[in-house]
């Protein structure tokens, strides 16, 4: 169980000053990435708005946001990332994922379901309505962002698969391709990256399978072409580049829990009263802001999710 500590995150976990100094240079590259992603998706107009030369504008319903929650700028959302398959530094994914091939892309849905299937991405998305939602996000490293996502409710996919009566959990798996994902050649985590949810968590209306951000196709460094978004949990639970979704009767083994069980629990709900062993979770630094904020229980989404954990010891089940 995590031990309370007043330690701050290390310097590698703090937003570098250069992130804010030369943003214009990045915008040109971001536009190129966006255009390439549209071509990769075959120009699917129902998924992504037309690419624009100016900085993308946030669109979507502001789910659970506070009055002072402003969307984090596009260039920060797409250059300050945790995606260890492409490197452990925050700037590595945007540099190392440029040539990552996201088409064709197959998603296998199987396990304890009545309708297992291998889907091409377009077929996976077709029956659902693609939505724009703006969520607050909190990283376990004590920084946060506000991000406008585009995607489909995870619950839609769960219903389509028709879980049988034995299904209790959902396991997610990232693509394993060390040739494209250089981080998978390292031993920093057990590969491929895996994550998991209880079935009721997966069916919560907040759980989103994202295919875009800021109204654009999801950039490679943000988890293209399909990633999970869970705004009430720490960021590492939102697995990227998903290739398999499996329903099971046993709690899945997850990558970070296997790597460091005392630091990363299965539930990983945002909880300011349970600290990471190396730093406090009571406050957070919003990317782009100087002063810290108080961390909210369940990241401010208690009204939507707290009932799922009624009666649980959230210090033991961290």
Report the greatest alpha carbon distance in the chain.
54
Residue 88: closest CA among 236, 278, 307, 205: 236
Tokens of 45: 């107009």
What SS3 state is found at 156?
helix
Calculate mean pLDDT across residues 223-234.
Answer: 98
- Report d(CA 174, CA 179) in Å as an integer: 14
What integer pLDDT is reported at residue 163 of this predicted model? 98
What integer pLDDT is reported at residue 65 of this predicted model? 94
What confidence tier does 41 reach under pLDDT thresholds 50, 70, 90?
very low
Domains, the chain, ordered by start: 11-309 (3.90.420.10)
* Residue 35 confidence (pLDDT) above 70: no
Question: Is the Cβ–Cβ distance between 152 and 159 less than 8 Å?
Answer: no
What integer pLDDT is reported at residue 55 of this predicted model? 82
Calculate mean pLDDT across residues 44-62.
Answer: 65
What confidence tier does 13 reach under pLDDT thresholds 50, 70, 90?
very low
- Report d(CA 76, CA 63) in Å as an integer: 21
- Report d(CA 79, CA 253) in Å as an integer: 29
pLDDT digit string (tens) for 237-258? 999 999 999 999 999 999 999 9
Calculate mean pLDDT across residues 223-241.
Answer: 98
What integer pLDDT is reported at residue 4 of this predicted model? 37
Calculate mean pLDDT across residues 46-62.
Answer: 68
pLDDT digit string (tens) for 158-199? 999 999 999 999 999 999 999 999 999 999 999 999 999 999
* Residue 22 confidence (pLDDT) above 90: no
What integer pLDDT is reported at residue 156 of this predicted model? 97
Give, in degrees to the nearest 5, the angle at Cα 148 between 144 and 150. 130
Residue 299: closest CA among 78, 140, 184, 160: 140
What integer pLDDT is reported at residue 54 of this predicted model? 72
- Report d(CA 209, CA 189) in Å as an integer: 23
* Residue 42 confidence (pLDDT) above 80: no
Half-sphere exposure of 5 (CA within 13 A, CB side): 13
- Report d(CA 166, CA 297) in Å as an integer: 31
Calculate mean pLDDT across residues 25-44.
Answer: 36
DSSP 8-state code for residue 32: H
* Residue 23 confidence (pLDDT) above 90: no
What confidence tier does 272 reach under pLDDT thresholds 50, 70, 90?
very high
What confidence tier does 24 reach under pLDDT thresholds 50, 70, 90?
very low
Calculate mean pLDDT across residues 93-100.
Answer: 98
Tokens of 184: 């998978």
- Report d(CA 142, CA 43) in Å as an integer: 37
Cis amide prior to 225 (ω within 30 degrees): yes
End-to-end CA distance of the chain: 8
* Residue 314 confidence (pLDDT) above 60: yes
What integer pLDDT is reported at residue 260 of this predicted model? 97
User: Given the structure tokens 């659970």, which residue do they identify?
Assistant: 64
Q: How many residues does the chain have?
A: 318
Average pLDDT, the chain: 87
User: In DSSP terms, which residues pair with 62 in a beta bridge?
Assistant: 134
* Residue 10 confidence (pLDDT) above 80: no
Question: For the whole model, what pTM was predicted?
Answer: 0.84
- Report d(CA 225, CA 82) in Å as an integer: 16
| Least confident piece of the model among 88-92, 194-198, 276-280 | 276-280
């Amino acid at each position: 169980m995590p031990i309370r500590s007043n330690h701050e995150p290390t310097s590698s976990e703090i937003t570098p000053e250069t992130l804010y100094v030369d943003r214009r240079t990045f915008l040109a590259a971001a536009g190129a990435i966006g255009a390439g992603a549209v071509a990769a998706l075959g120009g699917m107009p129902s998924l992504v708005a037309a690419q624009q030369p100016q900085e993308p504008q946030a669109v979507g319903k502001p789910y659970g946001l506070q009055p002072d929650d402003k969307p984090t700028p596009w260039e920060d959302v797409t250059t300050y990332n945790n995606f260890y398959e492409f490197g452990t530094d925050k700037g590595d994914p945007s540099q190392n994922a440029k040539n990552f091939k996201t088409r064709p892309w197959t998603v296998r849905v199987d396990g304890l379901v009545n309708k297992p299937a291998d889907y091409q991405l377009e077929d996976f998305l077709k029956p659902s309505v693609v939505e724009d939602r703006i969520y607050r996000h909190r990283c376990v490293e004590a920084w946060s962002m506000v991000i406008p996502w585009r995607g489909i409710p995870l619950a839609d996919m769960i219903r389509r698969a028709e879980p049988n009566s034995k299904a209790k959990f959902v396991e997610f798996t990232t693509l394993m391709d060390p040739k494209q994902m250089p981080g998978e050649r390292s031993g920093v985590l057990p590969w491929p990256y895996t994550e998991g949810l209880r079935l009721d968590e997966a069916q919560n209306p907040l759980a989103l399978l994202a295919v875009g951000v800021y109204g654009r196709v999801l950039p490679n460094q943000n988890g293209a072409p399909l990633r999970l978004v869970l705004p009430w949990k720490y960021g590492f639970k939102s697995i990227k580049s998903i290739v398999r979704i499996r329903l099971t009767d046993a709690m899945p083994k997850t990558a970070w829990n296997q790597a460091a069980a005392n630091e990363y629990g299965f539930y990983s709900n945002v909880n300011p009263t349970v600290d990471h062993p190396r730093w406090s979770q009571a406050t957070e630094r919003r990317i782009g802001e100087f002063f810290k904020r108080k961390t909210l229980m369940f990241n401010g989404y208690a009204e939507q999710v707290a009932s799922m954990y009624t009666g649980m010891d959230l210090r033991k089940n961290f």
